[in-house]
């Protein structure tokens, strides 16, 4: 077995700090899959995961927020039971009917982060104006739905409208509740973003 013989190249403190938060938020995203809300309309359980995507963008910014959700997807592909219904494995990302949502999660987190923080320098989201936060989360949610519907319609050969009825419409009310919760969390100012 080859051993590295070069000098130790330490990772900078601020990178370690941001990375640890991103990695643990990815684990929280996986843990959120077990907290289900009883919801009659949907065939799959409604989980907190979209809320965690919002929080990743809001509190980690565009760079580490997106990276955090990428870590979540990579861990799921490696077999961690982090996807809804506590499943994992590369097949879920490659072919599951709702994998379109998963693929758009990191993009949505990065977009929310970019819109709220207006760049890669982190600000406290509690200081951002309310319309900005609401608008950014709304755009993120629309993006997630677009990804999920396009993927489902491509995979199963249904039309976009049919895909919307199968995988989007049943979830809209629950996701709007999560959007409201994300705003309440930001306005509470109880999370330290640094």
Of 21-60, which residues contact another protein (CB under 8 A)?
21-28, 30-32, 34-35, 37, 43-45, 48, 51-52, 55, 59
160 interacts with another protein by CB under 8 A = no
Query: What are the beta bridge partners of residue 83?
Result: 87
Comparing CB distances to another protein, the nearer of 132 and 176 is 176
132 interacts with another protein by CB under 8 A = no
127 interacts with another protein by CB under 8 A = no
Q: Which of residues 75-104 bind another protein (CB under 8 A)?
A: 75, 78-82, 84-92, 94-98
CB 26 within 8 A of CB 85: no
What is the total count of residues that contact another protein (CB under 8 A)? 80
180 interacts with another protein by CB under 8 A = yes
CB 45 within 8 A of CB 83: no
Helices (H), 78-98: 90-95
User: SS3 for 7?
Assistant: coil
In the list 123, 138, 156, 160, the residue contacting another protein (rule: CB under 8 A) is: 156
Using the rule CB under 8 A, give the single segment among 102-110, 124-132, 136-144, 148-156 that binds another protein: 148-156
145 interacts with another protein by CB under 8 A = no
Rounded CA separation 17/181 (Å): 26
Rounded CA separation 15/12 (Å): 5
Phi, psi of 152 (to 5 degrees): -60, -40
Comparing CB distances to another protein, the nearer of 49 and 114 is 49
Using the rule CB under 8 A, give the single segment among 1-9, 116-124, 126-134, 135-143 that binds another protein: 1-9
User: Count of alpha carbons within 13 Å of 132, Cβ hemisphere only?
Assistant: 15
149 interacts with another protein by CB under 8 A = no
Q: Which two tokens stand for residue 52?
A: 């965690």
Comparing CB distances to another protein, the nearer of 146 and 162 is 162
Rounded CA separation 146/101 (Å): 8
DSSP 166-187: IIIGGGHHHHHHHHHHHHHHHH
Tell me the closest approach of the beta carbon of residue 117 to another protein, in angstroms.
17
């Amino acid at each position: 077995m080859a051993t590295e013989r070069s000098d130790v190249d330490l990772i900078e403190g601020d990178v370690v700090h941001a990375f640890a938060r991103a990695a643990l938020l990815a684990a929280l995203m996986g843990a959120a899959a077990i907290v289900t809300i009883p919801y009659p309309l949907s065939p799959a359980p409604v989980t907190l995961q979209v809320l965690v995507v919002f929080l990743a963008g809001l509190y980690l910014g565009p760079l580490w927020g997106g990276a955090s959700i990428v870590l979540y997807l990579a861990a799921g592909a490696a077999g961690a039971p982090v996807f809804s219904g506590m499943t994992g494995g590369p097949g879920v990302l490659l072919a599951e009917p709702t994998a379109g949502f998963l693929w758009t999660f990191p993009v949505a987190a990065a977009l929310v982060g970019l819109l709220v923080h207006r760049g890669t320098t982190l600000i406290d989201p509690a200081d951002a104006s309310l319309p900005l936060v609401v608008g950014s989360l709304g755009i993120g949610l629309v993006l997630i739905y677009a990804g999920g519907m396009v993927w489902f319609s491509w995979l199963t050969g249904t039309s976009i409208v049919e895909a919307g009825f199968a995988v989007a419409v049943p979830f809209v009310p629950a996701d709007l509740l999560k959007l409201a919760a994300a705003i309440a969390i930001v306005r509470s100012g109880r999370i330290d973003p640094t």
